[in-house]
Every structure is written in structure tokens, then in C-alpha cells.
Amino acid sequence: MNFDIRDLVMKNLAGSTKEEVEGYIKETIEEKEDDALPGMGVLFEVVWKKSTEDEKNKMMDKIMSEINKK
């Protein structure tokens, strides 16, 4: 079976309210749903592509801070 995960995720979320998408994100994180991680990656990709360089730098600072926590 061949499918485009990006397209599938965006189609599944199309028409959702802000609250519904936020609920999906929170539930995925709180329940540690590994099978939902590709969808979270798609959402991150969309945000990344639409972000300014300053916004990307701020995201990277947060990511690196978490990666390098001791």
C-alpha cells in the first residue's frame, strides 16, 4: 500500500476547530501515543515551513535546550 502520510494527516485534520487540533496534540503528548508521532511530525513540518528565520531560531533554541538537559 502506497500513501502520502502528509496528505493523509492534513485531510484528516481538515475542517477541525482550533480546539480539536489542540486536543489532538495534547492527547498525543499526554498519552504518549507513538502511532500519532508521524502526524505530529507533519504538523511540525507545516509550522517550520511557514515560520520566519527568527521563529525557527527560537524553536531550535527550545529544541536544543531540551536535547542538552542533564
Q: Which domain holds residue 61?
A: 5-67
For CA atoms 57, 48, 34, 38, the dihedral sign is negative
Number of structural domains (the chain) is 1
The CA distance from 26 to 41, in Å, is 14
pLDDT of residue 3: 75
CA distance 70 to 60: 18
Residue-wise pLDDT for 1-59, tens only, equals: 667 999 999 999 999 999 999 999 999 999 988 888 899 999 999 999 999 999 999 99
DSSP string, 21-54: HHHHHHHHHHTT-GGGHHHHHHHHHHHHHHS-HH
Q: Write down the pLDDT at residue 1.
A: 63
